Amino acid sequence: MTDLTNLTTQLINKVTPPISFLSLNEFLLDSPFLYFDELISSIRQAKHEILLEVYIFKLDSIGLSVFEALIEARKKGVRVYLMVDAIGSSESLPPLIQLSKKNGIFIKAFHPLSFNSNLNSFYQSLKILNKRNHRKLALIDESIVFMGSLNICQDHLKWQDLGLKLVTPFEYQKNPHLVTLKKSFFKIWSQSKKFNYGVLKKIPKFLTLTHISISPFLRNESVFLRFNLSRFIYKNLRSAQTRILICTPYFLPRFFLMRALYKAQKNGALISLVLPSKSDVWFVKWATQSLYKKLLKRKIKIFEFETSILHEKSLIIDDLFIIGSLNWNHRSFVHDLEIAYQTKSPETLQLATLHFDQLIKQSRPIVIDDLINHTPFYQLILGKMIYWFRYWL
């Protein structure tokens, strides 16, 4: 991805003329090294507040580098809030909590489980077992945002991911969208169960601000927002006229999304799916392959990315680009907390299109003959059986 990385690096230093106080300068980061370098640099330069929210935070080379930057910021008086998922980050949670408390960092483990002798506690843990915080978000000084498909761990250095950096063009004026994003962070913080180290004793005043109804950020921390996110994607898919490009590691969509794709194909839109050839969750890949024949008969193109494990979540619908933590599965649309960003910026769309072209060049096109001649019979059967449990995948 050298061409896109070079082009993105050049754009990092480009100042886009702001359209209004609501606008955000967008920088697509297709290199994990560039993403983490930019994130760590922005953390070190923070002046007031850092909000960091990820599904997985490992104390490996990347995690330690990020955490050292957080400690450095905290020593300068910056308020640091770290929220991780209790299951996604279970491997490093105990030392992470200990280090955070030692260095004055507020930390929250989202939905920890407690399967003890207390029947009520056991029941509550079962209720939240499948409801995880899958968001990847960093908000720094209410002026810089990092998001995309990358957790805080070194696994992503070998995987195919895509990140986004957003910068408000007005240094001394708050962007209402980022104020709402901050509100979203603390709403989730306050709603999680237990493990609340660094309790907010008083709800900040900004939480009472009126919700910005037209926002580039797609969220789902409430029933209304979850419905709104699904409706937004569904309506744009159905009305697509020219193209739909989907890149996702987990493709087990709900029926309404499949119907929207079929409708777009009938309207003449060219649809391409970039899916993993190598997956970090093998049984999901097998379940996805059970859909291939149906999709190919609908003239939907399928490409399997072969260079590395595909973990990117991005989408182009005509002139709309969406990037974030959102997968094409029931977990994202029904169970988990997710966040995405939608834009129609011509510059960003140009970069995203170039990025998709490069993904396809590194992928193998799937044809029906491949399914018949090269897929083991037992894999096809098991894939269909696993697909029956897609609601939980």
329-363 pLDDT tens trace? 999 999 999 999 999 999 999 999 999 999 999 99
Structure tokens at 234: 């569904």
More confident residue, 231 or 387: 231
This prediction has a pTM of: 0.88
244-291 pLDDT tens trace? 999 999 999 999 999 999 999 999 999 999 999 988 888 899 999 999
Confidence of residue 5 (pLDDT cuts 50, 70, 90): low
pLDDT recorded at residue 82: 97
Structure tokens at 290: 């059970």
CATH fold match for the domains 2-215 and 223-392: yes
Cβ neighbour number for residue 169 with a 10 Å cutoff: 17
Q: Which fold has domain 2-215?
A: Endonuclease; Chain A (3.30.870)
pLDDT recorded at residue 121: 63
pLDDT recorded at residue 387: 85
Cβ neighbour number for residue 234 with a 10 Å cutoff: 16
Confidence of residue 209 (pLDDT cuts 50, 70, 90): very low
pLDDT recorded at residue 112: 86
Q: Is 3.30.870.10 the CATH classification of the domain at 223-392? A: yes
133-158 pLDDT tens trace? 999 999 999 999 999 999 999 999 99
39-54 pLDDT tens trace? 999 999 999 999 999 9
Domain boundaries, the chain: 2-215, 223-392
Structure tokens at 299: 């003239």
pLDDT recorded at residue 280: 85
Percentage helix, strand, coil for the chain under 3-state DSSP, each rounded to 5:
45, 20, 35
* Spatial CA neighbour of 331 closest among 256, 251, 275, 277: 251
